[in-house]
Structure 1
């Protein structure tokens, strides 16, 4: 986005920051991190990244960066997988329609998907300390599909929503779904913790090996504690949900409440937002980027990362393991019985 580049031009960063698009790889009920081997998993996810993604992938036993043959991400050495729950509109008659995705500003023509960030200390200066790239086999999650109180949602400082007035809207983030119709859709935001214990590439709940000192948004994070002393990249996702087709208030609940729900537990509050990550950069490519001074997509074309055109990345896909309707008007959400709330 133009104002991003203007702000960054005012400060000479000492380390790199990445911002890039990844097209949608698949939308289906698979979750190899939380529900490995379950076909189908409990709820629908939108997945982007490398084509190794499947129900049983074990990144602790294989190097995903070496196993992948294509990726939907702008940087062609990034075979990582990034995924979130899927947003649905619930009509007055109780049926559901999957909300389409659209591409963020100043990207390369990706289809749907997400905007991915690997930043350092903050979004304007990017800091001057050593950033250690994630290791082969690394995995983590942020948030939880079982979060059901506002207090718990507020405590997840990195998980927020922006009611988009235009594609360029930023700020005014909320821990729950916007209450009013959003002229340019809803942006779901996921910031992962960036302090690592230096030992474990995963943990039982996929979160305890990391510690969050973030303050929400692209702000300076606090220092890492002694229990988790290694500063890693600040990974973040932005997902643009195109809710414009559902902004007619005559389609909304008769009490005027907002009509959108997550695929996870048909959550109408937004509290259950969550995201998953499995590292899959090829070789030491991410570390090279973190050690460089490039910014955003300018890190491509061999400076120092390899990159690909939108036409190339949009060719990458996988076959659905779970064959069920997720897009049309549905009597219930996939994985949930009719009438589930």
Structure 2
């Protein structure tokens, strides 16, 4: 393990010190996980991936230097971002159908599904902390949040910033919840994954892919992050994913008063196991330049090259697993007994 020495609303932002918010179109849906299951093809369950085309079965070293295109609006970001995939389980016959991803509100024109990605120093209001420097991630850095083995509500609530919203419209989210909605949602199911922002200053990864990072936020949402502890003294950008799952076409198949019919691609009987993976891959010092820039948001901070989404949408990777992941299936990919 390589080491280094320690050296608005989510849609309408309030004033900020610095930060990034941008869309990434979907890159691929496949059973690979180079963070948790490097070298294994296929991985145990299906993932929805966005970002750079260096995505592969195994990923080490400087991902940003190997990428040649990205599905993200920020053209210097060859990182990869991924989550499990949402499925609808038919209440009558038990078959499964993958839920498509749709655009979040206010993304760049032409974004196809994908995710909204944030890199924020302290989240949306930072006056009390703006003197603290933000250190960009290093080549080879990776981390995860959440766990597919989470099985209780108490444990799910302990995963601060991993939440669901039952969308009334794409801009009316309703309350945050630690589990799937218990009734059909008019505009889909919204998921958010906040990552920790305090680094131990040494390890690019850890055995559980989480211990090298520390979360100082004690309540959900975009809130100011308290100071980092001595064990994890280096403040890094807080990375956040937002995904909109278009559940609308399944609403008529959910009988009134019956239990939630949605499952993640690792099965489970609840939404407690929601989780996400991050693999850093920005080119050179591009992310550090953005974090050093005061008073910007959404616009690349005046330092990062942007691309139109019709260019981003041309970025693809080869499917290294080649299995059916769409339409009605009798078992989840990788979960057949």
Range of TM-score over shorter length: over 0.9
Which has the higher mean CA deviation after the structures are superposed, 188-197 or 126-135?
Answer: 126-135
For 1:273 and 1:4, the matched residues in 2 are separated by 22
Distance 1:189 1:247, change over 3 A: same
- Distance of aligned partners of 1:188 and 1:267 in 2 relative to their CA distance in 1, 3 Å threshold: same
Question: In structure 2, do the counterparts of structure 1 residues 4 and 245 end up closer, same or farther at CA, with 3 Å as the change threshold?
Answer: closer
Give yes or no for the alignment of 1:205 onto 2:208: yes
Q: CA deviation at 1:220?
A: 1.2
2:115 maps to 1:114 = yes
Matched residue SS, 2:155: helix
- Once the two structures are TM-superposed, the CA of residue 135 in structure 1 deviates from its matched residue by 0.8
Equivalent position of 2:312 in the other structure? 313
Q: Which residue is 2:38 aligned to?
A: 36
The verdict on how the C-alpha distance between 1:291 and 1:171 changes in structure 2, with shifts beyond 3 A counting, is: farther
Task: Verify the 8 A CA contact 1:99 1:243 in the aligned structure 2.
Answer: yes
Q: Are 1:182 and 2:181 matched, yes or no?
A: no
1-structure distance, mates of 2:227, 2:9: 30
Q: C-alpha distance in 2, partners of 1:304/1:39?
A: 38
* Partner residue in 1 for 2:198: 195
What residue is the counterpart of 1:105 in the other structure?
105
Distance 1:333 1:253, change over 3 A: farther
Q: 1:169 Cα shift?
A: 2.1
1:304–1:168 Cα change, 3 Å: same
Deviation at 1:222, TM superposition (A): 2.0
The CA deviation at 1:171 is 5.1
For the 8 Å contact 1:253–1:259, the answer to whether it is kept is no
The RMSD of aligned alpha carbons is 1.7
2:105 corresponds to 1:95: no
User: 1:246 aligns to what SS in structure 2?
Assistant: helix
Q: 2:29 aligns with which of 27, 34, 39?
A: 27
Label 1:183 to 1:28 Cα distance change in 2 as closer, same or farther (>3 A).
same
Q: Secondary structure at the match of 1:19?
A: strand
Rounded Cα–Cα distance in structure 2 between residues aligned with 1:123 and 1:162: 20
Partner of 2:48: 46
Question: 2:256 and 2:120 mapped to 1: Cα distance?
Answer: 43
Distance 1:239 1:3 in 2: 12
Greater shift, 73-82 or 102-111, is seen at 102-111
Residues 20 and 296 in structure 1, CA contact (< 8 A), matched pair in contact too = no
Q: Distance in 2 between matches of 1:145 and 1:325?
A: 22
Corresponding position: 1:234 with 2:238: yes
TM-score, structure 2 normalization: 0.93
Distance in 1, Cα, partners of 2:299 & 2:270 = 38
